[in-house]
Structure 1
Amino acid sequence: MADFGATDLDAFRADTRAWLEANYPKSLNAPMGEDEAPWGGRKMVWKNPDAKLWLDRMAERGWTAPMWPKEYGGGGLSKAQNKVLEQELRRLKARPALMSFGVWMLGPVLLEYATEEQKQRFLPAIVRGETRWCQGYSEPGAGSDLASLQTKCEDKGDHYLINGQKVWTSYADQADWIFCLVRTDTSKKHEGISFVLFDMTSPGVEARPIKLISGSSPFCETFFDNVKVPKEQLVGKLNGGWDIAKRLLQYERQNISASGFGGGGGLSVVEAAKKELGVDSEGRIADGDFRARLAAHSMDAHAFMLTVRRAEAESKQGSGPSAAVSIIKYAAAKMNQERTELLVEALGLQGLGWSGEDFSAEELAAPRAMLRAKGNSIEGGTSEVNLNVVAKRVLGLLDHQ
């Protein structure tokens, strides 16, 4: 790839467009099934070989993490160049080359807090999609009050010994490694937490999938029984993990918000409503009440996406995401729940099926998406916690004693 200056955007765009058109596999233009998401990692089963080819080609240029430094496998792009890349990917309607907690959450905090040796060890493998990560945060007794976590990490001289349990660990049964909050000092709450990384194949690690009401099992309960962790896998300072944890949660909420959660099998609420509820003489959805509620939701959704883009631009100009992402995450959860509920309502009886030949795959996905959306108010920080963050850190309100 030519070395374009940060201001030579026209040349960079032309080169990027030509490369994408030549290297994006046309077979990936088909809709992506839920089980085809390119998570990467040692356990990934690539149903479409072209999806792996696309990952390898993008990773070779560092474009799975385009703004990370080149010395860690990233693309080394400027903010302006990254925006061009995003625009050209959207123009092609290209699938994501990699969907990764490593890219979205862990990588940014490693760039900020890790040692040089840790960056060289872990970041390139994230960029290439060779390591799939999961997040060890919540526990049965430490959900909204995360800082009350009790997973114990003892200093055994040449290693740490970890015992405890995590819950709602997304894709723990599919992950290669985990970034985990552990208690290294029982005399303090927030100041007694550390941030460690370890292999999920380590002796004593067990992940058990949890079946949800939607029928899927994306979350696990995860157990640690005398798990040995090398000391060089502690990130940041001993007992300094809470600061890293908060920073990572900001990145998590930012990415959850930007994705808008998705779901619903790709069905358009408008088209579903026109088909099932009919249209009036002007081609509008016949049910006036439903039409008004859908219009209000659509306006909110458009305003939300504009706000997300503005917040992303502001975070790239500063030092990363701020506490304001809690506002966006709260709104994203609420709107995805509204959208999936409107879709099921629009489908009528066809939105109530769970199985059978009388329903299309898209119709069967709709009620599952609606049920799955209920968890949006919990994951990435509950709506109540996010509102507290907004009150204290955005609005500057103080607790009344």
Structure 2
Amino acid sequence: MDLSLSPEQQAFRTEVRSFLQDALTPAMRQGATLTSGVFAEPDVYLAWQAALNAKGWLVYFWPKTAGGPGWDAVRRWIFETECTAAGAPILPGMGLKLVGPVLYTYGSDEQQERFLPALRSGEHIWAQGFSEPGSGSDLASLRTRAVREGDDYVVSGQKIWTTQAQFANWMFALVRTDATVKAQRGISFLLIDMASPGVTVRPILSASGDHELNEVFLEDVRVPVANLVGEEGQGWTIAKFLLENERGGTGYAPQLLADLDRLTRATTLTGELADRAVRLRLEAEALEMTELRTLLEIEQGNPPHARSLAVKLIASEVRQGIEGLAIDAFGMASLQLPAERPFHAADAPALVGPPEAGLAAARYLNARAWSIFGGTSEIQLTIIAKAAVGL
């Protein structure tokens, strides 16, 4: 998408490009390219996170009062577009985009002073402890309980589909602190040290062979009351705030367009395949317009709830369309599925052909989850119907 940028915005774009040229190393680019999951490996994204933090651009989506640079919507869009075009690693959002805003909105001064700097530096890697067996879309039915004993909560239960918990040293979790009231009112928001006795993390391997998901078992884990965010029983309100950030985020379109560009450069598409590529590009460009419009409305103090939810819904469909196109375009060459991870490691097996072919099968399988994680597409449609149409 082309915008008529002001001279100041053009100068900012030039500054971003210059920074990316200097700070984004070949190793970071390779690590970002050779990944089949959502995020690169920690050795890759933490190096990129440190470079952004040193520049003061890491939490560009935070308000200035919370330590962000105070960018407007257009600058955010310029930065996201340029980072994607340059092949920068995608940073996990559990800390920066999810619990960070929760802490500067609901957290105590002590919690903000303790956790926000460590979050930005990469000292703390966060996992999200929401879903449970039997409590995914119906999150309010969660059964992990937290019983107060003096200055601690004793937490017992199980979380599942916990992204990157194998790397995390902290987890924010929804727990039930009161079983005698309406389900939503009995939920609280806790910060749990993953090194605490009683915390066990077990891997869940995806169909692609990637290890991004885990189940987390909590057996009589003692969590200080000081790690309660907000008030007891306020967890559902905080969770809704957090999920709006997760489901209503922006920045999908630049990545989708960049991935589609890489695919069309890696192979020649003709006939029906070329037609699909054009249609996907049009959908991604329309999504980009919607994302920018969403950012502008948020900036004006008018959060477009239904539209922001539609962004994730459409992005899931386009992502699955791109990965399906890659499978069909590369044919037999797309059927590689090496067991070894990570792909960017020095001793990793060589992929046959370009990464777009060698990783096509794994990316296709992982893309099926896009319409499930962060709220299923069916749930998104239901929320949109209620918020926008009043059904």
TM-score band, normalised by the shorter chain?
0.7 to 0.9
Which residue in the other structure is 2:344 paired with? Answer: none
Which residue in the other structure is 1:121 paired with? Answer: 114
Which residue in the other structure is 2:230 paired with? Answer: 236
Cα distance change on mapping 1:29 and 1:182 into 2, 3 Å: closer
Cα distance change on mapping 1:294 and 1:25 into 2, 3 Å: closer
Classify the secondary structure of the residue corresponding to 1:138. coil
- CA shift for structure 1 position 230: 0.5
- CA shift for structure 1 position 313: 2.3
Which residue in the other structure is 2:163 paired with? Answer: 170
Which residue in the other structure is 2:201 paired with? Answer: 207
Given the alignment of the two structures, is residue 46 of structure 1 paired with residue 43 of structure 2, yes or no? yes
**In structure 1, distance between residues paired with 2:14 and 2:276:** 45
- Paired AA for residue 133 in structure 2: P
- Equivalent of 1:298 in 263, 281, 284: 281
Which residue in the other structure is 1:31 paired with? Answer: 30
- Paired AA for residue 30 in structure 2: P
Identity of aligned residues (%): 34
**In structure 2, distance between residues paired with 1:264 and 1:92:** 6
- Equivalent of 1:154 in 138, 147, 150: 147
Q: Mean alpha-carbon deviation: is it higher for 98-107 or for 222-231?
A: 98-107
Classify the secondary structure of the residue corresponding to 2:30. coil
Which residue in the other structure is 1:252 paired with? Answer: 246
Which residue in the other structure is 2:19 paired with? Answer: 20
Which residue in the other structure is 1:282 paired with? Answer: none
- Equivalent of 1:329 in 309, 312, 335: 312
Residue deviations 1:82-122 (CA, integer Å, cap 9, x gap) = 44872795498272595442111111122211112211111
Residue pair 1:193, 1:240 contacting (<8 A) in 2 also: yes
Corresponding pairs, count: 373
Residue deviations 1:290-325 (CA, integer Å, cap 9, x gap) = 333332222112111221221122223326572432
Which residue in the other structure is 2:336 paired with? Answer: 353
Which residue in the other structure is 1:372 paired with? Answer: 366
Residue pair 1:194, 1:234 contacting (<8 A) in 2 also: yes
Which residue in the other structure is 1:109 paired with? Answer: 102
- CA shift for structure 1 position 357: 7.3
**In structure 1, distance between residues paired with 2:80 and 2:258:** 25
Cα distance change on mapping 1:241 and 1:65 into 2, 3 Å: same
Q: Mean alpha-carbon deviation: is it higher for 247-256 or for 80-89?
A: 80-89
Cα distance change on mapping 1:265 and 1:368 into 2, 3 Å: farther
Cα distance change on mapping 1:38 and 1:116 into 2, 3 Å: farther
Q: Report the TM-score, using the length of structure 2 for normalisation.
A: 0.83
Residue deviations 1:224-243 (CA, integer Å, cap 9, x gap) = 00000100111112111111
Quote the RMSD (CA, aligned, Å).
3.6
Given the alignment of the two structures, is residue 79 of structure 1 paired with residue 72 of structure 2, yes or no? yes
**In structure 2, distance between residues paired with 1:338 and 1:11:** 33
Q: Mean alpha-carbon deviation: is it higher for 309-318 or for 235-244?
A: 309-318
Structure having the higher helix fraction is 2
Which residue in the other structure is 1:180 paired with? Answer: 173
Cα distance change on mapping 1:192 and 1:323 into 2, 3 Å: farther
Given the alignment of the two structures, is residue 339 of structure 1 paired with residue 322 of structure 2, yes or no? yes
- Structure 2 stretches lacking a partner, 5+ long: 1-5, 339-348
- Paired AA for residue 70 in structure 2: L
Classify the secondary structure of the residue corresponding to 1:121. helix
- Paired AA for residue 220 in structure 1: N
- Paired AA for residue 50 in structure 2: D
Q: Mean alpha-carbon deviation: is it higher for 250-259 or for 159-168?
A: 250-259
Q: Report the TM-score, using the length of structure 1 for normalisation.
A: 0.81
Cα distance change on mapping 1:151 and 1:321 into 2, 3 Å: farther
Given the alignment of the two structures, is residue 93 of structure 1 paired with residue 86 of structure 2, yes or no? yes
Which residue in the other structure is 2:388 paired with? Answer: 394
Residue pair 2:324, 2:364 contacting (<8 A) in 1 also: yes
